[in-house]
Amino acid sequence: RLSELLGTSVTKLNDCIGPEVEQAIAGMQPGDVVLLENVRFYAEEEANDPEFAKKLAGLADLFVNDAFGTAHRAHASTEGVAKVLPGVAGLLMQKEIETMGKALEDPARPFVAVLGGAKVSDKIGVIKNLLTKVDVLLIGGGMAYTFLKAKGLEIGKSLLDSEKVDLARELMQQAVQKGVKLIVTEDVVVAKEFSADTEYKTVKVSEIPADWQGVDIGPETIARFAGEIAKAKTVIWNGPMGVFEIVPFDNGTRAIAAAIAKCDGTTIIGGGDSAAAVEQMGFADKMTHVSTGGGASLEFLEGIELPGVKVLQDA
């Protein structure tokens, strides 16, 4: 596949360090491409072992990192090598940093963030950082139920991050203090269980039955969220609105993807499940940028300096 994309033959080696690798690279001519074996077969890779990094660095004159998806990891091939060789960002890495960086630091407004996914605990840092930057924060997906619980509502058997209820309450108070419009799911699709053939219905968030669980955002929430997205000049989306892997509980995620695709502003999809959803649903080419990083884009949205980016000379 790499040969097809590059229009030249690619030689795949069976290791990433050692005499055979060194010999193969020494015999390369200008324009030749060699693909090393997966560095993660070595424990030294994830341990960011300096000696292993030196062996990798010894194979080249320059290090180009184009793997934004691993930039949040301080591994030998992402951080260690750049301490030995001059390291620069590849074209994709550059696009990721510039597009998301501009959205966070100098956004066209209104700036709307849409957050979903399962747990509040996974997104605490992101929410805190975005509350200092956005005009509107829309919260759906499984994490919304912790916010609904913080509002004093009963959520049945819906997903609950019980240790984060007080924090959710604090975050809603912070939004008020900072003048951020924070909107949590207003109606939901509830089901007896997580399966395609289960019984389900749409209810107000104040009417979730005790033995049912929330699986998607409802039509009123879709309309409210879509209305905010339509007015936006910058949109960042991270996390699905429901159990999008199961039809028909993909409806909310699909509707929000469609609303973002129609938005005239800058639209950024923050990797992971959201990226998978827009790819799967056919909206990817209508977005300004679909991030290739799951954990990396989350940490970037949190405002954390990524180890694999920090070491690059031009990032």
Domain coordinates of the chain in residue numbers? 2-91, 98-301
Architecture of domain 2-91: 3-Layer(aba) Sandwich (3.40)
**pLDDT (average), residues 100-111:** 95
pLDDT of residue 315: 53
| Residue-wise pLDDT tens digits, 259-310 | 999 999 999 999 789 999 999 999 999 999 999 998 899 999 999 999 999 9
98-301: which CATH topology?
Rossmann fold (3.40.50)
For residues 63 and 60, give the distance between their C-alpha atoms in angstroms, rounded to a whole number: 7
H helix runs in 205-306, sequence order: 219-231, 251-262, 272-280, 295-302
pLDDT for the residue numbered 44? 98
**pLDDT attached to residue 189:** 99
- Quick one: which H or E segment has residue 2? helix 2-6
Tens-place pLDDT, residues 199-253: 999 999 999 999 999 999 999 999 999 999 999 999 999 999 999 999 999 999 9
DSSP class of 279: H
* 9 — pLDDT class (breaks 50, 70, 90): very high
Q: Which residues contact 64 (CB under 8 A, 6 or more apart)?
A: 87, 88, 89, 90
2-91 and 98-301 have identical folds: yes
- The 8-class DSSP code of residue 110 comes to S
- pLDDT 10s digits, 107-152: 999 999 999 998 888 899 999 999 999 999 999 999 999 999 999 9
The DSSP symbol for 76 reads: I
